[in-house]
Amino acid sequence: AACGFPNEAVFSPNIPSCPHSSGRFSHSSLDLQVTTLSALRSVCGEDSVLLGEAVREQHGRDESVHRCCPPDVVVFPHCVEEVSALAKVCHKHRLPIIPFGTGTGLEGGVSAVQGGVCFSLRKMEQVLDLHQEDFDVTVEPGVTRKALNAYLRDTGLWFPVDPGADASLCGMAATSASGTNAVRYGTMRENVLNLEVVLADGTVVHTAGKGRHPRKTSAGYNLTNLFVGSEGTLGILTKTTLRLYGVPEVVVSAVCSFPSVQSAVDSTVQILQSGVPIARIEFLDEVMVDACNRFSSLSYPVTPTLFLEFHGSEGGLEGQVKTAEDISQSNGGSDFQWAVDVETRNLLWKARHDAWYAALALRPGCKAYATDVCVPLSRLPQIIVETKQDLVENRLTGPIAGHVGDGNFHCLMVLDPGDPEEVQRVHLFTERLARRALAMDGTCTGEHGVGLGKRALLCEELGHAAMQVTSSLKQMLDPMNLMNPGKILQPRGG
């Protein structure tokens, strides 16, 4: 859907024009094209080097509103040796390299803004080196989080980082994804122990040492986290070693309504301060709750609402649940609904899980665009109140949902893509929201990443000196700017 989004350029200022969808390399002569294609095919086979327009367009967009920018060719390597050999071909002929996992990103991270070769990694789908006693596993880039948890089903272990979409785990590492469980289990940054990375020239690097998987290390620079969040601009992630956790004995969920945003956030802070190891605390504003009620035939009070989830043992959870309930009630929380069995828990969480579709249903035929900022918890009530006022003043539809336990929230902007004036108002709103977060010592993106649309905001967030260091790292690892060019950093000379 993002490929045909009218006026989408307003979300991506200063992005170079996309290459023509002609199937020709935009950086080389006809003879070189033939030579290059022959070299690519010699590595991974005729059937794994595709030039068709449909497959190129499929790999030139994600789920964001950014324009579709198809690569010149899509390759499907089967192993790290093929990824390395293909990268060497691209390096020799100075062709851009764009890694592709499942295409579920939200910031245009797979757009081939300079053409080049898309490395689709879906055929590398092995779960490797499961160490049950060590609570870790190594996977290839085609393995998604749902596939991993299905593989782990009989082991008593699971991987809890859940961004919503069934994203590839290496893709989640590349964007430093998180999600609803981050308040208890952390983001990808806290859960990646080691990475195998293919650099722009084909060199294969193991960021913590080949085969190593200690739970902690103080050995040298943290190369692993250099690549976590790099969005394919420094190398291609071909293996990731992840922390695993024991499946909780008991899971208890709850929904609670509050008279105001302030009281809901106050409850969240006090629950965390009390030491309750809560797994999820999700927030929906009254607009979002109303949309969910209509969409899912629910009957929650149309007020700011918290969705909570606790993981632990049967004996240990009783006290945690009681503490959370007492704190919530002391802040005006009411209409508590608790659930232990899976069916009832799923029903309680239905509103949160269906939030995207509920927001879209507010304006049938329109498109949705999800914002993403994060601020210190103490500033969360202020930014949500100011954001809601901004939405009203600018006649915009933007229900709010967020991971309130770590200060991260989203406005699900619903807009008519055929109305240039409304598209422009949404664009200006998202910039104001990001700068509002920066003014409150927060970040322009808590989990979606920078991609194409937030490059200028990243400069404002980090400052000149830190951006100079970032650019120097990029220059050292990728001096020809072949790795996913145009993402995170502003174009050189621009």
Q: What is the pLDDT of residue 410?
A: 93
Pair (183, 264) in one structural domain: no
Split into its structural domains, the chain has a count of 3
**CATH code where residue 37 lies:** 3.30.43.10
Residue 386 pLDDT exceeds 70? yes
Whether residues 200 and 254 fall in one domain: no
Asked whether 155 and 195 are in contact (CB, 8 A), the reply is: no
Here the tokens at position 199 are 């650099």
Q: Are 253 and 345 in contact, with CB atoms under 8 Å apart?
A: yes
Instruction: Give the global pTM.
Output: 0.90
Q: What is the pLDDT of residue 88?
A: 98
Boundary-marking domain end, from 211, 246, 281: 246
CA–CA separation, 156 and 246 (whole Å): 6
In a domain, 393, yes or no: yes
Same domain flag for 91 and 233 = no
Q: Which domain holds residue 295?
A: 250-439
Q: State the residue for tokens 């009630």.
A: 329
Last residue of a domain, one of 212, 246, 280: 246
Shared-domain flag, residues 217 and 360: no
pLDDT one-digit tens code per residue, 53-93: 999 999 999 988 788 999 999 999 999 999 999 999 999 99
Do both 273 and 379 map to the same domain?
yes
Whether residue 185 is found in the same domain as residue 290: no
Task: Give the chain's mean pLDDT.
Answer: 90
Who wins on pLDDT, 225 or 163? 225
Residues 239 and 200 in one domain: yes
146 and 105, same structural domain?
no
Lowest mean pLDDT among 18-32, 130-144, 233-247: 18-32
Give a yes or no: residue 469 inside a domain. Answer: no
Q: Which of 199, 226, 246 is the last residue of a domain?
A: 246
Q: Is residue 159 part of a domain?
A: yes
Q: Is there a single domain that holds both residue 288 and residue 323?
A: yes
pLDDT per residue as tens digits for the range 283-309: 999 999 999 999 999 899 999 999 999
Residue with tokens 């929380």: 333
Listed ranges 99-113, 359-373, 465-479; the one with the highest mean pLDDT = 465-479
Note whether 138 and 213 are within 8 A (CB): yes
